[in-house]
């Protein structure tokens, strides 16, 4: 009887075992599915992590809130910084931030991350070769497996910074050129009216001298009036040159020969402590220009260079040559509308003086601006006006303590011929007796 009961219970036990096996199989299937899903998710994460075009860093976060070490980096991060992946994983974020960036991160960024668990800022990262690159950084904090972790996306913004700098320089050039044009119109109008007054003063002074007796004590005063009027007329000519409305007598000129003829006067116009070197190119293309105005350009540039050198020993180098100028190169000039690309003859004056900062460079062509207590005048302002009137251009390169380079460019060929056809006012009419 007992055996019958035992055998009768077997089907129930088999059914129970089958149910248990079915449950175990279901659990196994779920585990396999879960494992496969986890692997698929990790693979998708890896693909996403590697395909991002920006550098991505996963960092551990210490108790003080500072990133402690790199947990993972993508290929772009390695390429950007020039490190192998194994090298980066042995490093800390502070190794690529640089001292200034790390100080800013601790003082400014960490409080924002703690408050919002997200922050975006600009910084500088240091490559393996020591080169610094500007970057935009976006960081997010989250907990991963119970530990605070930071995921940081870093974008190289070198091109953006360069474009912003070029845009800023272009805006400054346009503002400077507009200011110079306004001042030029003002100077030209004043010079014309003032010159008319001087003509009357000179005429009456000369007539009075003709009517006075030789022994008259008034003659000395009239001569002083005449001298002062002549100096004022010279200032008017400079103002007209600055305004681009001076009268030019255009000739075909070899710039090297003109500087050779002027060399002696240049030597005696500067301190004996300064060495004047001339590097004049042979067989230069001729340019159509007023020789008197070009001499004024050379004199003003050399005297300005000598003032930059001061009473110390130094060198001023004058060079001439010919170069092919692209539109991009000419856009760096001090004119609102730079001339067209092509062949240009240049006059370059380089000094070993004190150099200039950006603020000074932006003002050197202002009339009567100077960094000296004395000597205010139209020197460089007149130079710019003369160059503009000859359809040329002018570039300045200078840094504090590194000297200054002025390069004046004059057109050759068809552009110079066009200048000769349209440039300069006609000579004054003169009568002729029979």
pLDDT tens, residue by residue, 22-51: 666 666 656 665 565 555 555 555 655 566
Last residue of a domain, one of 156, 182, 198: 156
Q: Are residues 337 and 231 in the same domain?
A: no
Please name the helix (run of DSSP H) or strand (run of DSSP E) that holds residue 317, with its range, or none.
strand 314-325
- Residue at 147 is within a domain: yes
d(CA 114, CA 63): 12
Q: Are residues 253 and 402 in the same domain?
A: yes
Residue 407, pLDDT score: 93
Q: Considering the chain, what is the average pLDDT of its residues?
A: 77
pTM for this predicted structure:
0.50
Which residues, listed in sequence order, are joined to residue 61 by a DSSP beta bridge?
67
Q: What is the mean pLDDT of residues 342-351?
A: 92
Range scoring the smallest mean pLDDT among 251-255, 348-352, 374-378: 374-378
Q: What is the mean pLDDT of residues 242-264?
A: 80
Q: Are residues 266 and 378 in the same domain?
A: yes
- Residue at 14 is within a domain: no
Q: Are residues 110 and 123 in the same domain?
A: yes
- Residue at 339 is within a domain: yes
Tell me which residue range forms the domain holding 87: 55-156
Q: What is the mean pLDDT of residues 401-420?
A: 75
Q: How many alpha carbons fall within 13 Å on the CB side of residue 170?
A: 12
- Residue at 393 is within a domain: yes
Strands (E), 177-298: 251-253, 274-279, 287-289
Which residues, listed in sequence order, are joined to residue 279 by a DSSP beta bridge?
319
Q: Are residues 339 and 371 in the same domain?
A: yes
Question: Which residues does 11 contact at the CB level (< 8 Å), separation at least 6?
Answer: none
Q: Are residues 407 and 260 in the same domain?
A: yes
pLDDT at residue 421 tops 70? no
Range scoring the smallest mean pLDDT among 93-102, 188-197, 349-358: 188-197
Residue 427, pLDDT score: 43
Number of domains the chain contains: 4
d(CA 310, CA 68): 54
Q: Are residues 405 and 260 in the same domain?
A: yes
Q: Are residues 108 and 240 in the same domain?
A: no
- Residue at 236 is within a domain: yes
Q: Are residues 262 and 181 in the same domain?
A: no
- Residue at 8 is within a domain: no
Q: Using CB atoms within 10 A of its CB, is residue 158 exposed (0-12), middle (13-18) or buried (19+)?
A: exposed
- Model pLDDT for residues 71-91, shown as the tens digit of each residue: 888 888 888 889 898 888 888
Q: Are residues 79 and 147 in the same domain?
A: yes
- Residue at 10 is within a domain: no
d(CA 247, CA 423): 9
Domain of 383, CATH number, reads 3.30.565.10
Q: Are 205 and 197 in contact (CB under 8 A)?
A: no
- Residue at 429 is within a domain: no
Q: Using CB atoms within 10 A of its CB, is residue 157 exposed (0-12), middle (13-18) or buried (19+)?
A: middle
Residue 339: helix, strand or coil by DSSP?
Answer: coil
Domain of 193, CATH number, reads 1.10.287.130
Q: Are 131 and 151 in contact (CB under 8 A)?
A: no
State which of 133-147, 172-186, 204-218, 341-355 shows the largest mean pLDDT.
341-355
Q: Are residues 71 and 128 in the same domain?
A: yes
Q: Quote the tokens at residue 241.
A: 């040159």
Domain of 66, CATH number, reads 3.30.450.20
Last residue of a domain, one of 198, 219, 245: 245
**Higher-confidence position of 57 and 377:** 57
Q: Are residues 163 and 223 in the same domain?
A: yes
Last residue of a domain, one of 32, 51, 70: 51
């Amino acid at each position: 009887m007992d055996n019958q009961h035992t055998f009768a219970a077997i089907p129930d036990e088999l059914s129970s075992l089958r149910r248990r096996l079915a449950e175990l199989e279901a659990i196994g299937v779920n585990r396999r599915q879960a494992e496969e899903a986890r692997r698929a998710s990790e693979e998708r994460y890896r693909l996403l992590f590697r395909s991002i075009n920006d550098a991505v860093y996963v960092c551990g976060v210490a108790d003080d809130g500072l990133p402690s070490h790199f947990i993972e980096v993508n290929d772009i991060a390695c390429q950007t910084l020039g490190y192998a992946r194994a090298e980066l994983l042995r490093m800390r974020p502070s190794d690529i931030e640089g001292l200034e960036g790390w100080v800013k991160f601790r003082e400014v960024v960490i409080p924002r991350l703690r408050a919002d668990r997200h922050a975006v800022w600009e910084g500088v990262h240091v490559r393996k070769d020591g080169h610094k690159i500007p970057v935009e950084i976006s960081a997010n904090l989250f907990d991963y497996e119970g530990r605070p972790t930071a995921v940081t996306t870093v974008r190289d913004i070198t091109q953006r910074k360069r474009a912003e700098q070029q845009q800023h320089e272009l805006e400054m050039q346009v503002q400077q050129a507009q200011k110079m044009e306004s001042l030029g119109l003002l100077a030209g109008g004043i010079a014309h009216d003032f010159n008319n007054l001087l003509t009357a003063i000179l005429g009456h002074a000369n007539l009075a001298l003709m009517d006075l007796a030789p022994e008259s004590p008034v003659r000395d005063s009239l001569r002083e009036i005449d001298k002062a009027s002549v100096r004022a007329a010279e200032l008017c000519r400079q103002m007209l040159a600055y305004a681009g409305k001076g009268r030019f007598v255009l000739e075909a000129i070899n710039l090297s020969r003109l500087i050779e003829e002027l060399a002696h006067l240049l030597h005696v116009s500067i301190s004996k402590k300064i060495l004047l070197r001339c590097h004049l190119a042979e067989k230069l293309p001729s340019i159509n220009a007023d020789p008197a105005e070009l001499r004024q350009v050379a004199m003003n540039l050399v005297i300005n260079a000598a003032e930059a050198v001061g009473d110390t020993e130094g060198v001023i180098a004058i060079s001439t040559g010919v170069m092919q100028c692209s539109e991009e190169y000419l856009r760096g000039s001090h004119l609102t509308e730079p001339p067209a690309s092509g062949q240009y003859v240049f006059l370059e004056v380089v000094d070993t003086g004190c150099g200039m900062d950006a603020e000074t460079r932006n003002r050197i062509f202002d009339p009567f601006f100077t960094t000296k207590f004395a000597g205010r005048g139209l020197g460089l302002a007149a130079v710019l006006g003369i160059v503009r009137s000859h359809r040329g251009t002018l570039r300045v390169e200078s840094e504090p303590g590194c000297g200054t380079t002025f390069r004046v460019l004059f057109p050759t060929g068809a552009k110079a011929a066009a200048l000769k056809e349209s440039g300069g006012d006609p000579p004054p009419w003169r009568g002729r007796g029979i």
